[in-house]
Structure formats: structure tokens, C-alpha cells
């Protein structure tokens, strides 16, 4: 006969959260004291399991401890720990999230834990172990802190947060990129931020990611950053998989927009900035409290991160440039941004092309972007494009002449590549000339939109020169 499952937390009148947390902290402290004489035995058992269980790391940083707990907190383990362990179990199962899920008096304490991105069979002993490990991470009053954090995690949906403690129910949608070094977090708007990777150390499991993409994640951590947006979640603790109802936070629109922002950062910095991965990340503390392996969810590779080969360190972020990028991104619903979105993607990809004929392809990408922005068709493309760009961007006759000459050289190189003449010795410098003009054009179009008549732009410029 099964136990009744409480699907939702009862009201505060029926459940004393503060009292439950205090009792749990006291019981955890007693368990810790009972463990102390057996610590050597426990550590020896852990070391053996380090070799046999793939998810076990160290006692302090272990992220799936239920295997360890089965060995020394069970009927077959250390007898002196049974009574304090039973007290902890009884208090845990008094919480509405666990009442009816696990029998506090039974040795069989399996349950299904559905967290924000992963479901699996676990054991109540794993939660106990996670609480003990988390308590050791705190410098003082660790058992009290761990009990408060578990309470916050189980009751996140009810908004039961405790001042002074980190919120384990906080997670982030993350778009991880490489190519710029950030010295601080940068707010974008609507809770979106661009942050250095080090700021996400409690959320992004780099060891797990490194197994998925070892080449992309090699190098200095300062070369990595992320676009993030927070969410909160509550784990489901049920008897079996059949009772679980996974609910992933919907972030498709944000992830797509964030990858667009990464591409815009690349173009405006005129430097490769490549989206490596999009993922959903929960707090490491939450995984530890639940006795689970800390992993990322919803993982997908970025648009161009897999094929790019990194050489050297990334440049430091230019804060004036990043502010312009954020300003344009905040206006992404406007027509001028939507008109420019395909151009941003093409120019960003031009920067990150690493194929055998990459430099040729990059020049072709820039040429396509320029012709699209300046709405070229028909004949005499080189002359018309140079003239339009000169009068659109130039603020003096000298600057206009320079823009016209740079585009003439750029298109000459493009022609020699198409017809197989010459060599690639000056290809990169010509790419740089063309890309710089394309970037300046893009920024002006993002600011004011496409001119209604390009010929009129040239005429107006001629009139100003003649005055």
C-alpha cells in the first residue's frame, strides 16, 4: 500500500517552516558528532568509491553522495550512526515535499527527484549526505546554514527565502562565449547581464563541459564570458518517474536573442567572439543538497563555436563599444535592427571562419554584407558602392576619398580571388579595410535605418561639398 503524495506545499498555518529548519539543523549536528569517531573509516570508504563510482569526487565537494551513504549510513554500515540518521530522516520526511514519498522508518528510501533539467532515482540518504557535505563548506553554523538552504530550495515556489543565505533555487539561462575579456559584469536590461565566466563558477560545471567540448574550453578562463538571465525553480520529489511532471523554464526566445547579441559584440569589436554553447544551469549548491551530480541542462552548441580554432589571448572588452551594442540590442524589436540582423550574423561568421580558404570566404562575406546594406544591383557595383559609402560615412572630402579608395582596393582583391589571379599576401589587410567600413555602416543603419534613396545621399553630400 502506497503513501499519500502531497503534490503542493501546505499553507504556513499547517507547517512550521522555522521549527522544521531548526530541528533539522540540530539533528544534522548530532549526526556530525556521531560520525566524528568513524571519520577515518568513512574517508577510506569514500576513497574506495572514488575509484568505482564515476560521480564521486571528494567528501567536501561530492556531487552525488548517495552511493557513499549507502555504504556507511545503512543497516549494513556503521551501527552507531543508525539512530542519529533515523532522526534526520524523520525530520526530512515531515516536510510537505517529502511526506508520503518516503517511509521514514523503512530501509528502502528510494525516490524520484526531478530537478530543473534532470530526473533520476535517488535516495533519501543522498539528501542527508548532501546536507552534511554542504554544512562542511560553511565556515560556521554549517548545519544551520545547510538546513536553511534546503528549506529555501524545497519552498522556492512559495517564495520562502531567508536573509543572509544564498538562494539555491536560483538558476541561469546561459549563452557561453569566447573572445572578449570582461573585468566586471555588464547589465543589458530585463535581468539580462554579460558576466565573466568566473562569476558563474557555482552554476557552470566546467569539468562536465570540458568533456563535451575539450578544444573550445582550453585556455585561460579570462577569455570566456556569458550572457545570462536568471530563473527560479523547485525540485519535484515523488515516488516514481511516472509521477514526475518535468517543467523546463521556457527560454528559447532569450537564448536566440542572446546569441544574436554575442554576434553583435563580435562585429562592433571587429574581433572574433564565438558562441560556444547555450544551456540551462542550476546552482551547484542545489545539486549538492539533493545529493546529485551537478550538470548542465538543455545543452546545445553555438552557431559557429565548434569549427573555430583559437590562437592567442582574447582582447579586453571595450566598454564604449559594448554599451553601443547593448543599446542596439535593447531596440531589437525595431525595424532597423530586424533589417540588419542577417548582416550581423554574416559579418560575425566572417570573423570566426577558420576553414582552409577562410580568408577568401571572409572577404566574400564582407562583400555580400556591403552590397546588401547599400542595396546594390545592376552594373558598376564597385563605383556605386564606393560612392555611396563615401558620402554616407565620410564627414570631409579627405575622409570620403579614403573610404572610396579602401573599397576600391577591397573589391580589387575580391575580383582577383574570384578569377584566381594574384596571391593572398594582402588578403587579411584588405579584409580589415572592408570589414571596418561594413561595421561603421552597420552601426549607422542600426541607429537611423536605411536611407529612402541612396542616390539622394550622394547628391546631398555633393551639395555640402560645393557650399
**Number of Cα atoms under 13 Å in the Cβ half of residue 24:** 27
* pTM confidence score: 0.83
- H or E element in which residue 34 lies: helix 17-35
Number of H helices, E strands in the chain: 16, 9
Closest by CA to 185, choosing from 348, 326, 351, is 326
Going from the C-alpha of 214 to that of each of 210, 232, 306, the distances in angstroms are: 5, 30, 10
Nearest-angstrom CA–CA distance, 214 and 233: 30
Region of 439 (left: φ > 0; alpha: ψ -120 to 50; beta: rest) is alpha
Q: What is the pLDDT of residues 165-222, one digit of tens each?
A: 678 888 999 999 999 999 999 999 989 999 999 899 889 877 777 777 766 667 778 8
Percent of the chain, pLDDT > 70? 79
Q: What is the pLDDT of residues 91-116, one digit of tens each?
A: 999 999 898 898 776 667 889 998 88
Q: What is the pLDDT of residues 390-440, one digit of tens each?
A: 999 998 999 999 999 999 999 888 888 887 765 667 888 889 999 999 999
Amino acid at each position: 500500500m502506497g503513501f499519500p503524495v502531497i503534490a503542493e506545499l501546505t499553507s504556513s498555518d499547517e507547517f512550521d517552516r522555522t521549527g522544521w529548519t531548526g530541528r533539522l539543523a540540530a539533528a544534522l549536528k548530532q549526526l556530525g558528532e556521531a560520525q566524528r569517531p568513524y571519520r577515518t573509516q568513512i574517508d577510506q570508504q569514500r576513497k574506495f568509491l572514488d575509484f568505482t563510482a564515476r560521480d564521486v569526487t571528494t567528501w567536501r565537494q561530492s556531487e552525488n553522495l548517495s552511493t557513499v551513504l549507502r555504504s556507511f549510513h545503512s543497516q549494513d554500515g556503521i551501527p552507531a550512526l543508525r539512530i542519529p540518521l533515523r532522526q534526520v530522516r524523520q525530520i526530512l520526511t515531515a516536510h510537505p515535499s517529502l511526506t508520503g514519498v518516503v517511509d521514514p522508518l523503512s530501509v528502502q528510501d528510494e525516490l524520484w527527484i526531478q530537478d530543473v533539467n534532470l530526473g533520476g532515482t535517488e535516495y533519501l540518504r543522498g539528501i542527508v549526505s548532501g546536507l552534511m557535505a554542504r554544512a562542511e563548506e560553511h565556515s560556521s553554523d554549517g548545519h544551520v546554514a545547510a538546513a536553511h538552504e534546503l528549506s529555501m530550495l524545497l519552498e522556492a515556489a512559495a517564495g520562502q527565502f531567508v536573509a543572509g543565505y544564498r538562494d539555491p533555487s536560483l538558476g541561469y539561462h546561459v549563452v557561453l562565449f569566447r573572445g572578449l575579456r570582461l573585468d566586471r559584469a555588464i547589465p543589458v536590461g530585463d535581468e539580462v547581464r554579460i558576466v565573466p565566466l568566473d562569476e558563474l563558477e557555482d552554476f557552470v560545471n566546467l569539468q562536465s563541459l570540458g568533456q563535451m567540448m575539450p578544444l573550445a574550453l582550453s585556455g585561460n578562463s579570462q577569455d570566456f564570458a556569458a550572457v545570462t538571465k536568471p530563473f527560479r525553480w523547485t525540485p519535484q520529489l515523488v515516488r516514481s518517474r511516472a509521477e514526475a511532471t518535468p517543467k523546463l523554464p521556457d527560454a528559447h526566445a532569450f537564448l536566440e536573442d542572446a546569441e544574436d547579441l554575442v554576434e553583435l559584440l563580435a562585429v562592433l569589436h571587429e574581433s572574433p567572439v564565438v558562441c560556444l554553447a547555450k544551456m540551462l544551469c542550476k546552482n551547484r549548491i542545489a545539486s549538492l543538497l539533493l545529493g546529485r551530480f551537478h550538470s548542465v541542462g538543455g545543452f546545445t552548441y553555438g552557431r559557429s563555436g565548434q569549427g573555430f580554432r583559437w590562437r592567442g589571448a582574447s582582447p579586453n572588452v571595450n566598454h564604449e563599444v559594448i554599451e553601443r551594442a547593448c543599446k542596439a540590442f535593447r531596440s531589437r524589436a525595431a525595424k532597423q535592427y530586424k533589417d540588419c540582423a542577417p548582416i550581423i550574423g554574416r559579418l560575425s561568421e566572417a570573423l570566426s571562419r577558420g576553414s582552409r580558404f577562410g580568408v577568401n570566404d571572409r572577404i566574400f562575406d564582407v562583400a555580400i554584407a556591403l552590397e546588401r546594406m547599400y542595396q546594390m544591383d545592376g552594373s558598376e557595383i564597385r563605383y556605386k558602392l564606393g560612392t555611396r559609402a563615401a558620402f554616407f560615412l565620410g564627414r570631409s572630402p579627405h575622409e570620403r576619398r579614403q573610404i572610396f579608395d579602401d573599397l576600391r582596393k577591397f573589391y580589387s582583391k575580391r575580383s582577383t580571388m574570384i578569377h584566381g589571379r594574384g596571391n593572398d599576401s594582402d588578403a587579411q589587410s584588405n579584409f580589415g579595410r572592408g570589414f571596418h567600413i561594413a561595421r561603421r555602416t552597420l552601426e549607422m543603419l542600426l541607429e537611423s535605418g536605411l536611407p529612402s534613396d541612396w542616390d539622394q545621399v550622394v547628391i546631398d553630400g555633393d551639395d555640402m561639398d560645393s557650399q
